[in-house]
Amino acid sequence: MKRITCLISALGLMAVAFAERTESPDVILERLERNLSFQTAYFSGETIITNKSRVATKAFFAYLEGRENFFLEYVSPARDRGMRLLRQGGDLLLYLPSARKVLKIKKGRQQRRLESDFSLDDIAEMSGSLRGRFSAELLGDETVDGRPCRLLRLVALEPGQTYAVRLLWVGKETAVSLRCQYFTRSNKLAKELAASDIRQSGRRFFAGRFVMTDCLRKNSRTEIVLKEMAFDVPLPSGIFDEKNLKPAEAE
């Protein structure tokens, strides 16, 4: 009986090891995206933008619905308070309290919009699906901040993608993207995103801190620290409605 138990255990371990070794890139991406899939979500936190000697801290809250709808509002500092950002499909709407007007920014004009190291495209893609847009190749296993990771190389299938190639380190245990390097078409490293402060909510793992470094600019980095996070929560009604983007008092 003891022998049979040992044999079954050994076979089990071998099966797990085999399964782990043969986990396909698509399966890794699927796990990664399953972690990010939610009906609705709420976040609040701070963006800390460092540009040479200047450091700017901005507090915000945001609502997400699926992968398409995204709403963000700045609450501080005073100059930025009340600025709202609504992403619907490909287009982006920006409510500017200083002008009391809404600016619609077409897709393709969004790459340089935010003066942080995140472009709007970067933000949109953080919750976007990678499968179907990139071909993935498993390069091997590595460790990031002491966490074992799968290293994937993603190559854009269509020329319109912001970054042609990405290297993605996905945590083996958490299925969270712990590091991502973005490369230009000329294979130059453009940006690097590092995620840390991994938290768990139910079966879902997520990062509470992101640092984006623009490798083409000196002394420039943007840190997003999420303070509150809630998934699949009820959202204020009409929050993604373009008509509600402009506050009533601005009418």
Q: Which of 2, 3, 21, 54 binds other proteins (CB under 8 A)?
A: 54
Q: What is the rounded distance in angstroms from the CA atom of residue 42 to the CA atom of residue 121?
A: 20
Query: Smallest distance, Å, CB 189 to other proteins?
Result: 20
| Residue number, 115 or 228, with CB nearest to other proteins | 115
Within 10 A of 189 (CB to CB), how many other CB atoms are there? 14
Binding of other proteins by 215 (CB under 8 A): no
Binding of other proteins by 115 (CB under 8 A): yes
Query: Smallest distance, Å, CB 184 to other proteins?
Result: 17
Q: Which of 58, 166, 179, 191 binds other proteins (CB under 8 A)?
A: 58
From the list 27-35, 52-60, 136-144, 162-170, the region that binds other proteins by CB under 8 A is: 52-60
| Residue closest to 62 by CA, chosen among 49, 73, 77 | 73
* Backbone dihedral angles phi then psi of residue 175, each to the nearest 5 degrees: 55, 35
Q: Number of residues in contact with other proteins, rule: CB under 8 A?
A: 27
Binding of other proteins by 225 (CB under 8 A): no
From the list 33-41, 94-102, 147-155, 161-169, the region that binds other proteins by CB under 8 A is: 94-102
* Backbone dihedral angles phi then psi of residue 133, each to the nearest 5 degrees: -100, -20
SS3 assignment, position 240: coil
Backbone dihedral region for residue 114 (phi beyond 0: left; psi -120 to 50: alpha; all else: beta): beta
Angle at CA 211, nearest 5°, toward 201 and 166? 95
Q: Which of 27, 62, 75, 114 binds other proteins (CB under 8 A)?
A: 114
Within 10 A of 112 (CB to CB), how many other CB atoms are there? 9
Q: How is residue 10 written in tokens? A: 């050994």
From the list 97-105, 126-134, 174-182, 207-215, the region that binds other proteins by CB under 8 A is: 97-105
Query: Smallest distance, Å, CB 86 to other proteins?
Result: 14
Name residues contacting other proteins, limited to 227-246 (CB under 8 A).
none
Backbone dihedral region for residue 22 (phi beyond 0: left; psi -120 to 50: alpha; all else: beta): alpha
- Structural contact between residues 177 and 150, judged by C-beta atoms closer than 8 angstroms: no
Binding of other proteins by 247 (CB under 8 A): no
From the list 7-15, 46-54, 187-195, 233-241, the region that binds other proteins by CB under 8 A is: 46-54
Q: Where would I find the beta strands (DSSP E) of 15-130?
A: 40-51, 54-65, 69-76, 84-88, 91-96, 101-105
| Residue number, 67 or 113, with CB nearest to other proteins | 113
Binding of other proteins by 6 (CB under 8 A): no
* Residues lying near other proteins in the complex (CB under 8 A): 49, 51-52, 54, 56, 58, 77, 79-80, 83, 94, 96-101, 103-106, 109, 112-116
